[in-house]
Amino acid sequence: MRLHNLKPVPGAKRRPKRLGHGRASGHGKTSGRGGKGQTARSGSSIRPGFEGGQMPLIRRIPKRGFNNARFAIRYLPVNLRDLNRFEDGTRVDEALLRKAGLANGRADGIKILGTGELTRRLTVCAHAFSASARAKIEQAGGTVEVVGKAPAAS
């Protein structure tokens, strides 16, 4: 097989839809845009949820209650079994976890969860620990350090 022999799979390439090429093309006259009006014009788009001036559904429905999602504390979860990649005696903190790719993205802190077994003696520094993770780290001869307080809900 050489470069000059390569061909696309049958059915992979389609002819472009040629708009405005007469009635027989199937895309003549209005060129697939329907009738007249705002959506038939070029450059026009109607934002999602707009209902032509009528009060939109999202504003017609009553809102009730309190949503705590804005004030919730978000932790990046890290499983205990993933910490076995570090050498004995290592101090595992947020910077090291992020460098290793175990904690990615924005969050208020890191929480160590007790999934899996820990075979190394580590000093683990995180914002929160599950009870099982704390027990397994100490059972393996390591130490647990809670870093900083989680932001208080106010």
Q: Could you report the per-residue pLDDT of 52-67, keeping only the tens digit for each?
A: 899 999 999 998 988 8
Question: Which class in CATH covers the domain with range 73-146?
Answer: alpha beta
C-alpha 93/C-alpha 96 separation (Å) is 5
Strand positions, DSSP E, the chain? 75-79, 91-92, 109-113, 123-126, 128-129, 143-146
pTM above 0.85, yes or no: no
Q: Could you report the per-residue pLDDT of 108-134, keeping only the tens digit for each?
A: 999 999 999 999 999 999 999 999 999
CB neighbours (10 Å) of residue 30?
Answer: 12
